[in-house]
Every structure is written in C-alpha cells, then in structure tokens.
Amino acid sequence: MTKLLQTLVDSIAVGSLYGLIALGYTMVYGILQFINFAHSDVFMVGAWLSFLVAVRIGGQTATVEPSVAKALLVLLTAMVCCGALGFTIERLAYRPLRQAPRLNVLITAIGVSLFIENLGQLKWLFGAMPQPMPRLLPDRPLFALAGVNVNLLDVIVVGTAAVLMLLLNWIVFGTKLGRGMRAVSYSPPTAALMGVPVSRIISFTFVIGSCAAAAAGFLYATKYITLQQPAHETWIRLGLKAFVAAVVGGIGNIRGAMLGGLLIGLIEFFGAAYLSPNLRDVYVFAVLILVLLFRPAGILGRATVEKV
Amino acid sequence: MTSANARWVAPRPAAAGTTWLYSLLPLLAAIALAAALHFGLQPAIGPFRTNVLMNIGINVILAVSLNIVNGFTGQFSIGHAGFMAVGGYTAAAITYYTSFRVWGDALMHGGVLSGVPANGWLTAGDALFVGSCLAGGLLAAVAGYLVGLPSLRLRGDYLAIVTLGFGEIVRVLLQQSDSDIPYLAADVQRMSVWQMARHLGGALGFSGVPFYTTPFWVWLFAAVTLLVAFRVKRSSYGRAFLSIREDETAAEAMGVALTRFKVRAFVLAAFFAGIAGGLFAHEIGTALNPRELGFMKSFDIVIMVVLGGMGSISGAALAAAILTILPEVLRSPPHVWPLGLVAIVFVLMVRRKAGRRAALTLAAVTVALEAVRAAALWQGVNLADYRMVLYALSLVVMMIVRPKGLFGVREIWDYRPLGRRRAATVAVG
Amino acid sequence: MMEPLLDIRGLSISFGGLKAVADFDLQLGPRDLQGLIGPNGAGKTTVFNLLTGIYRPQAGSVRLAGRVLTGLRPHQVAAAGIARTFQASRLFGNLSVLDNVRIGCHLRTRHGLPGTILRTPQQVGEERAILARSVHLLSTFGLQDRRDELACNLPYGDRRRLEMARALATDPQVLLLDEPAAGMNPPEKLALRELIRGLRERFDVTILLIEHDMGVVMDICERITVLDYGVTIAVGTPAEVQRDPRVIEAYLGGDTVTK
C-alpha cells in the first residue's frame, strides 16, 4: 500500500512534467505537422538557465535561503529567455522551410538540436560538466498519507504544472489568439484567407511551447537537483518520453498531451516499481508502439482519412 | 492477345551463358576494389586513416541501405542503428563464443585478408567472421520484418516514431544484458547457448571481440551493398519501391502490393545494416556498446541519406564519406578554398545558367569559411571545440539552401557536364 | 448481351449516413465502351473507388469474368484485370515518363528479389520485354519523344495520356477512365475521341469512362449511365439519355447535355 501510494505520488510529479513538455510538441505538430526535435533542447536550456540565474542571484551553494520571490524570478527569466529562443529557432530555421518536404524539416530540427546542445557544452555558456542546482524552494514533508510522505516540493511541481496547463488551456480555447491557433491547425491556407495572421500565430505557438518547456526545465532542476551537461542524452531521452506522451494522448490535442504525460509517468514508475526498474524505457516505448498499432491517432485524437 | 482472358506476360528468352557472366562481373570488380584499397591504399595511409577508411565503408553500407527504405520507398525510418545493433551483437557473440569453443581463446584467427599474412589466404577464422556477419545480417533482417509489419497501418511520422521506439527498445535490452563476459575457455565451455545470448556486456559494451575487420572486408561488403542497391533501383522490382514513394494510391492501383513491398524494403535495408553492425563490432578502435548505437547514430545515418539526396545511391555514399571525414578534418581545419574552387567549377560545368547563382553562393561560403579559419587562428581559438557546433550549423544551412540534398533523386553521373540534364535512370540492363 | 465481362450488382456505400452510391448496377460486355455521367458530387469517382478496391462496398458485388472481386485490395484488383486513371493526375512525378509506364508492367513479371539482385538471364529478358512493351505503349499515345522527361514536367494533355498508357501497361481487361479529357484543348479532345475508340481494338479492352465533356461522351459511348446523388437515374444510349427528363432536370435545364 505504501509502495503503491509512493509510486503514485512520484509518477504524478514526473507525469506532469512530461505533460508540460509534451504541450510544446503537440502544439507544433498540430500546426506544422512535424516533430520538433529541438524542443527537448529548449527544455534543457530552461533547466540550465534556471541554474545560471539561481547561482547569480543566490550565491554558489545549496545554502541559499529558500525564497519564493527568487524562485519566481528564476522561473520567469527562464521562461522569457526560452520563449525568445523558441521564437528565434522558428524564425531562422523552420520558417524558410515552410514549403519543404517534412523529412527536411525533421533533419533541420535535428540540426538545431545538435547546435543548441553543442553550443551549450562550450565553456563560456553552460560548460561540459554536470552541476548541482541550488535550493530555491523549501522542501519538507508536508503531510503523511498512509505512511507516505508527500513533500512540499512535489506539490509545488504538480501545482505549478497544473496552473500552467490551465493557463494554456485557457489561451487555446478561451482567447482570440487560441482561436487563430486552432484555425491554423485545421488548414493554414484557409486560416490565412479568413484573415488569421498565420506566421504570427506560428511564432506565438513556438513561444508558448518554449515557455512551457522552460517551466518544465525549472521544475525538473528544482526537483532533481543534478543537471547533466547539455549534450547528455538524459535531456533528449526526457524529451522523447514527453513526445511519446504527446503521441499517446493524441498528437495535436492539448488535453491529450496532459493526459498522455500523466499516463506515461504512471506506466514508467509503476513498471519500474512492480516489474523491473531497469526496463522503464522499454515500457514507455512498448506502450507507444501498441497505441500506434491499435489506435494510431492516440487516445483523444481523431483518425483522418486520405481523400483519393 | 486473342481471347479476352489472355494476359500479356513478360516473355523470358532462352538463358544465354554470357548473361551470367554479366551478372557476376561486378562482383569480381567489387573484390578487385576491396583488394586495391586493402593492399594498395592501406599501407600508404597508416593505421589512423585506415580506420577512417573502414568507417567510411561501414557508413556507406548504412547510408545506402537506409536509402532503400527512406529514399526509394519513401518510408521514414529513424531506427537504423537498432538494426545495426542487432546485427553487431549477433555477429560479435557468434565470433566470440565460437572462437572459444573451437580454439579455446577469442584471438583473431584470420588470414591475409584479415590482416595476418602469416596465417595464409583464407582461414577458418575468416569463414567464421564472414559467417557471423551474415548471420547478424539475417537476424537484423528478421527484426526488419517485425518492424516493417506495422507499416501496414502507419504512415509518415508515425512510422518514424515506431522505428525510433524500436531502436530505443533494442538499446535498453542490450544494456540490460549481463555485463559479465567470460574470458576463460573453461567458463565458456560450461555455458549454454541461451546463457551466451544473455552475456553481451550490458551497458559497458561487448569487449574482447577479435579484430577481423579490415578495409578488404568492409569494402567488399560496401561494394556488394552498392551493387545490390543499383540493381534494385534499375529494375522492375526497384521501380515498384519508387512508385510507393511517389504515390501510394497510384502504385497500388498499378498492382504494387504496398505492404509486401514496404516490408521487403525494411528487410533488405535491415540486412545490410546488420552486416554493417557486424563489421563495426569486429573493428579495432570501436566500442560495441549500446550507447554508441542509440538514436544519435540513427540520426547520423538519416542525415547522410538526406544530405546525399533521397533516392540517390551515389549521393548517399558520397555524403556518408563526407560526413565521416568532416569531424576528423575539423580537428585541425585545413584551407577550404581548393575544395570550394572544385565545387564551383563542377557547378558551372553542369548547369551553365542556374549554376551562376549556385557558384556565387559557393564562393561566398568558401570566403566565409576561410575568414572563420583565419579569425580562429588569429584569436587562438581552437576550432576543434566548435566542430559539432559547426557541423550542426552547416546541416541547418544545407537544408535551407539546398533542400533536395546534394544530388536530388538523381545519381551523380546523371549530371552531364556542358549538356542537358538527363532524367533519372533510363538505362536498362 | 451475353455473359457480361464486368458484372456490377447492387453496389452501395454510405459515408456517415450520406448515401454516396446506392444500389448501383452495371453490366459491361467484352469491348464495350460505356459512359458514367452525372453532376458534380454524384458519386461517379466513388463508383470507381469501389470497383478498384479503394473503398469496400457495404453491399453489392463486383464480378469480372465470373470471378468475385468484392473485398480485394486495390493491387489484387489490378492483378485481376481492372486498371484505372485518376481524376486528379496521380503520376509518379519524380520518375521519367518511361518509368511510369514500366511500373505498370511490373504486375506481369515473374522474377523476384533474388533474380533482381543476381540479374539472372530471366530477369534481363523480362526487363527487355517490359522496355519494348513500354516503348510501344508510349508511341501509341504519342509520347515516345518525351520518354526521358520527368512526369511532373509534362504539359497537362500529355499527363492525361500518360495516365492512360500507364493503366494499359497493366494489361487490363477493363479500363476505367476518370475524366480523361479534363484540361485538354479542343483539338486534343478530338484526337482523344479517336484514341479511346482505337484502344478497344488495339488492346482488347472494355472501357468505362467518367467524363464531363458531353461532346466526348455522347460521341464515343455506346451506353451511358447517369448518376445523381448516388442513385442511377437513367441508363441508355446517348440519344435516349439526352431525351430523359430526369437527366435534364438533374443538369438544371440540360443545355450541357444537348451540347
């Protein structure tokens, strides 16, 4: 029982992070129909920027007095910078390829991803060494439930993720901008004819997705403390799992991404806890393949039929 | 065609003896090429460059084989390293454990072609090595069949994700194998085949595999891969692949069995990737570990195919060579202007009018690269630190400036100097 | 009519409650040339898609020379002897004109992958036969001078003819033509009429064609079936169909029918 609850708490915390990252994948896929491989690097940059800013404002070590104001400052800086990064990537690398075959865009995305990783590895940026994230947020057992400690940090992670998701949900379904996004995702030419500024909407989508990824990066860094070097495969692997979450939930579907994130978190942690801890990646990808085989459009997605 | 039910069936002529000669002649040429590189080039370039030469060959096999799936058939596989891993580990395990059973050690027992002239021409060791590579290819082909089956239902990106997932699953499973590889003949004697299959070195990698791989073997297999790819592309069979890439619905209406051909493309490509894995496993200076064969390796191969031009065999091979050499060259960047000059002349000769703009672009790129090099020398910046950054950047720029890859769907020789461009392959026979 | 070559009975399909084709009957004898007409959205192309296995009919059957084709995959239908062209040109754009036709011949080859890799005498022989047949087909359609061009670079009229050549390369018993005259200029259309008439004898093939150009349809078709909202509203000779009040009504006044 204890194990079950503990696993549940862990998986929800991680799952909500997956969900946040998956939002960026799913929104870009929904509008441009391509896998933005560089998204996991935006997530990585978000985590590393959080580290840099935290060190700058709070001193070098883990003895920083935890403060919500400082944490918010770090979070916002990371989000703004990553938003700008996402905007730049789309402008410079993807926009010239709007009409190109999808494989080309995919290769470009891989190129951008390699570029960011290796740029981050340079001495004057993030460096090629793992670093410990300073503690910015207080962490203590909040309450115990059937012998399981629920930590404040977990609650903060899940809470922040939930707030951001609700915000995003509101942006997409409750604002004019969101209506533009949905219009573009159905058909960019038609949306353009209806007066939707397609290019601006696409830029905006990248900015939002990147902000969400940055927030996920910040939360990841605060929860897991150790930051691997930028080109380390951990980042891409986390990104891949988030992408799997987007596909499982139904790619292009924002609520699907959130649901998929939680589901992948659950599968990964329960598989690790009850089957074998070493095969967690296998569970995730096996579920992916099964979902694609039996419900290719994902849980919340709708199948499309090609017209002859 | 007299009655309504009589169908046209391609008639077959009586078999002619010389036709078989034409069939086998390229194979002799392949052996000659491999021997030339092995006995002629290898002694002249030293051990380090020999390794680069072998890596080029292995990457040529990988790129040309992936081109059958991605370039010919228009499917979208980004899990090629997974097939390479299946083949590599199969071959490594067979060689390693069989060596113990036969000779009581895992030393190299090859002959001249494996680099040990003292052992004579062809030895049992050579046979074991080639056999294990082929076995690796076959097992990879089986894996290709299993991955190809979902292409029944999936299109485009979804298939790509499944292949990616396949590659990751292979990697994780190999990482979970037992890292305790026995190194005593007595221990190996006691093991069952099943136990052998479980002891593959885990996350540390499979070490102790004898170094059979030489330029001869690599380029023999590379030449065979190229030969097969060309023969497939210029045949009725290959045109069925191409038609799927062009338009699935129309291809099916023309009688091309989509699923069957897609799966076959996967199987064929996986077979050669498995062989490449076998060569990689037996190469000196490489580490056969799961991390080496993860999705980054798959991406590398996809990049080669796209850079060369989807469907262009010679383009894929050339891109494989360039991308293998490039990171090495960037360690100590040489002048680029001679290469730039050659490229400009080539472009101007091939396409006189449209070539002018391309030539200007090339000239600008050459000047810019020279400037970067000069600035780096002047400022004392070590460009080697930036090699991956530059590599990534040039990839993005390439995709934007020349989205069709170096040669598009054509082969290099379809670009005739000072003449009209030929359409893609028209020759028969 | 004796034993029909292509026997379609009660073919029906609906998409989400919309009856696209209802109870479609049609019999084609050997070397018949029939037309299928109707206003836009009447379900003509859907009939073709049902016949060629792209859609699976919800009711009804298709028989070719007594053999049931219903439920077969498109490539099996092609192998059984029904070939088609597409309304929106679906050529293999990045391949040469010659290769487009050669792909159609692939169906009738017997060598496999091993033969291709080894380049056996049989394979070489079959490739030669394919080449000869393809060149012959191209010259039938006046495309011999364009054989090495990429299909995507062809002008519109040539594309339509290439589609027909490619379909005939599969050596069909029944050829389905989906608006072969679309996008052609008047002289080309005149030539097309003669071409289609000639195909029947030259390739021993039965033709069913969809066409909006009434000049072409009324001139060359022996019988015409008129569809409206998926329902067959008239069947008969061109003269009968032109007089049919329901057809005239379907075409809103009928000026297009009487040309």
Per-residue pLDDT tens digits for B285-311:
888 899 889 888 998 898 899 888 888
The one-letter code for the residue type at A11 is S
Confirm if B237 and C124 have CB atoms less than 8 A apart: no
| Chain A residues with beta carbon closer than 8 angstroms to that of C86 | 308
Whether residue C30 lies within 8 A of chain B, CB to CB, comes out as: yes
Token pair recorded at residue A41? 């690097």
| Chain C residues with beta carbon closer than 8 angstroms to that of B428 | 127-128, 131
Tokens 């909006």, located at residue: C212
Residues C33 and C82 occupy one common structural domain: yes
Pick from A224, A261, A268: nearest CA to A242 = A261
- C128 backbone φψ class: left, alpha, beta (φ>0; ψ -120 to 50): alpha
Q: Between chains, do C86 and B253 touch, taking CB under 8 Å as contact?
A: yes
Identify whether A70 is part of a domain. Answer: yes
Identify whether C242 is part of a domain. Answer: yes
Whether residue C49 lies within 8 A of chain A, CB to CB, comes out as: yes
User: Rg (Cα) of chain B, in Å, rounded?
Assistant: 23
Identify whether A301 is part of a domain. Answer: no
Residues C181 and C64 occupy one common structural domain: yes
What is the pLDDT confidence band of residue A65, given thresholds at 50, 70 and 90? low
Alpha carbon of B211: minimum distance to chain C alpha carbons (Å): 30
Per the structure, how many domains does chain A have? 1
Chains in contact with A, where contact means 3 or more Cβ–Cβ distances below 8 Å, are B, C
- B332 backbone φψ class: left, alpha, beta (φ>0; ψ -120 to 50): beta
Tokens 């924002």, located at residue: A254
Residue C7 vs residues A287, B24, B334, C61, C105: alpha-carbon distances, Å: 47, 50, 73, 8, 26
Alpha carbon of B376: minimum distance to chain A alpha carbons (Å): 15
Pick from A208, A201, A207: nearest CA to A169 = A208
Residues B315 and B363 occupy one common structural domain: no
Per the structure, how many domains does chain B have? 2
Question: B382 is in which domain, residue-wise?
Answer: 337-414
| Chain B residues with beta carbon closer than 8 angstroms to that of C101 | none
State the CATH number of the domain containing residue A133.
Answer: 1.10.3470
User: Strands C223-228, C33-37: parallel, antiparallel or unpaired by DSSP?
Assistant: parallel
Query: Does residue B85 have a pLDDT over 80?
Result: yes
**HEC profile for chain C?**
CCCCCEEEEEEEEEECCEEEEEEEEEEECCCCEEEEECCCCCCHHHHHHHHCCCCCCCEEEEEECCEECCCCCHHHHHHHCEEECCCCCCCCCCCEHHHHHHHHHHHHCCCCHHHHHHCCHHHHHHHHHHHHHHHHHHHHCCCHHHCCCEHHHCCHHHHHHHHHHHHHHCCCCEEEEECCCCCCCHHHHHHHHHHHHHHHHHHCCEEEEECCCHHHHHHHCCEEEEEECCEEEEEECHHHHHHCHHHHHHCCCCCCCCC
Token pair recorded at residue A272? 């690790």
Residue A187 C-alpha from the chain's centroid: 25
Q: Which residue has the higher pLDDT, B203 or B379?
A: B203
Residues of chain C numbered 188-247 and touching chain B (CB < 8 Å): 203-204
Cross-strand pairs, C15:
C18
How far apart are alpha carbons A110 and A89 in whole angstroms? Answer: 12
The arithmetic mean of pLDDT across residues A121-141, rounded, is: 81
Q: Between chains, do A278 and B175 touch, taking CB under 8 Å as contact?
A: yes
Residue A160 C-alpha from the chain's centroid: 13
Kindly give, in sequence order, each residue whose CB lies less than 8 Å from that of residue C187, ignoring residues fewer than 6 positions away. Answer: none
Token pair recorded at residue C259? 């040309």
Identify whether A96 is part of a domain. Answer: yes
Which DSSP letter does residue A91 get?
A: I
Residues B125 and B243 occupy one common structural domain: yes
Query: Does residue A195 have a pLDDT over 90?
Result: no
Search chain A and give the residue with CA nearest C85.
A308
Identify whether C1 is part of a domain. Answer: no
Search chain A and give the residue with CA nearest B152.
A293
Query: Does residue B346 have a pLDDT over 50?
Result: yes
Range in A17-21, B159-163, B327-331, C102-106 the model is least confident about: B327-331
Angle at C8 between CA C4 and CA C11, to 5 degrees: 170
How much is the pLDDT for A81? 95
Each residue's pLDDT tens digit, C129-175: 999 999 999 999 999 999 899 999 999 889 999 999 999 999 999 99
Identify whether C257 is part of a domain. Answer: no
Identify whether C195 is part of a domain. Answer: yes
How much is the pLDDT for B16? 60
The arithmetic mean of pLDDT across residues C7-34, rounded, is: 91
Identify whether A308 is part of a domain. Answer: no
Query: Does residue B372 have a pLDDT over 90?
Result: no
Confirm if B53 and B42 have CB atoms less than 8 A apart: yes
How much is the pLDDT for A61? 55
Residues B369 and B247 occupy one common structural domain: no
Confirm if B390 and B300 have CB atoms less than 8 A apart: no
Test mutation, B246, B260, B404, B421, chain C, max C CBs within 10 A: B246
Phi then psi dihedrals of residue C11, to 5 deg: -65, 125
Query: Does residue A108 have a pLDDT over 80?
Result: yes
Identify whether B90 is part of a domain. Answer: yes
Domain boundary among B328, B348, B370: B328
Token pair recorded at residue A84? 């700008």
Question: A29 is in which domain, residue-wise?
Answer: 2-294
Identify whether B1 is part of a domain. Answer: no
How much is the pLDDT for B425? 42
Cross-strand pairs, C175:
C83, C207
Residues B273 and B393 occupy one common structural domain: no
Query: Does residue A19 have a pLDDT over 80?
Result: yes
Q: Between chains, do A100 and B303 touch, taking CB under 8 Å as contact?
A: no
Which DSSP letter does residue A151 get?
A: E
Identify whether B309 is part of a domain. Answer: yes
Angle at A191 between CA C17 and CA A181, to 5 degrees: 95
How far apart are alpha carbons C220 and C37 in whole angstroms? Answer: 13
| Chain A residues with beta carbon closer than 8 angstroms to that of B156 | 102
| Chain C residues with beta carbon closer than 8 angstroms to that of A308 | 45, 49, 54, 86
Residues C211 and C230 occupy one common structural domain: yes
Cross-strand pairs, C234:
C226
User: Strands C59-64, A141-145: parallel, antiparallel or unpaired by DSSP?
Assistant: unpaired
How far apart are alpha carbons C20 and A83 in whole angstroms? Answer: 49
Q: Between chains, do C96 and B425 touch, taking CB under 8 Å as contact?
A: yes
How far apart are alpha carbons B218 and B282 in whole angstroms? Answer: 10
Residues B247 and B317 occupy one common structural domain: yes
Q: Between chains, do B399 and A114 touch, taking CB under 8 Å as contact?
A: no
Query: Does residue B137 have a pLDDT over 70?
Result: yes
How far apart are alpha carbons B295 and B340 in whole angstroms? Answer: 32
The arithmetic mean of pLDDT across residues A229-255, rounded, is: 86
Identify whether A277 is part of a domain. Answer: yes
* B170: helix, strand or coil: helix
How far apart are alpha carbons C10 and A141 in whole angstroms? Answer: 72
Per the structure, how many domains does chain C have? 2
Phi then psi dihedrals of residue B109, to 5 deg: -115, 30
The one-letter code for the residue type at C14 is S
The arithmetic mean of pLDDT across residues A77-93, rounded, is: 94
Residues B178 and B319 occupy one common structural domain: yes
Phi then psi dihedrals of residue C150, to 5 deg: -70, 140
Q: Which of A102, A236, A296 sits opposite B153 (nearest CB)?
A: A296
How much is the pLDDT for B17? 62
Identify whether B420 is part of a domain. Answer: no
How much is the pLDDT for A229? 84
Residues B258 and B401 occupy one common structural domain: no
Whether residue C147 lies within 8 A of chain B, CB to CB, comes out as: yes
- B42 backbone φψ class: left, alpha, beta (φ>0; ψ -120 to 50): alpha
State the CATH number of the domain containing residue B231.
Answer: 1.10.3470
Q: Which of C98, C108, C113 sits opposite B8 (nearest CB)?
A: C108
- Dihedral through CA C150, CA C152, CA C157, CA C163, nearest 10? 80
How much is the pLDDT for C68? 93
Residues B247 and B396 occupy one common structural domain: no
Range in A237-241, A254-258, B107-111, B395-399 the model is least confident about: B395-399
Identify whether B424 is part of a domain. Answer: no
Q: Between chains, do B239 and C93 touch, taking CB under 8 Å as contact?
A: no
Token pair recorded at residue B217? 């073997």
Domain boundary among B307, B328, B349: B328
Angle at C37 between CA C32 and CA C43, to 5 degrees: 110
Whether residue A187 lies within 8 A of chain B, CB to CB, comes out as: no
Residues B383 and B308 occupy one common structural domain: no
Confirm if C225 and C235 have CB atoms less than 8 A apart: yes
How far apart are alpha carbons A213 and A32 in whole angstroms? Answer: 18
Question: C128 is in which domain, residue-wise?
Answer: 93-153
Identify whether C100 is part of a domain. Answer: yes
B87-122 exposure pattern, b = at least 16 Cβ within 10 A, e = fewer: bbbbbbbbbbbbbbeeeeebebbbbbbbbbeebeee
What is the pLDDT confidence band of residue B14, given thresholds at 50, 70 and 90? low
Test mutation, A115, A117, A233, chain B, max B CBs within 10 A: A115
Alpha carbon of C145: minimum distance to chain A alpha carbons (Å): 31
Identify whether A299 is part of a domain. Answer: no
Tokens 């067979």, located at residue: B94
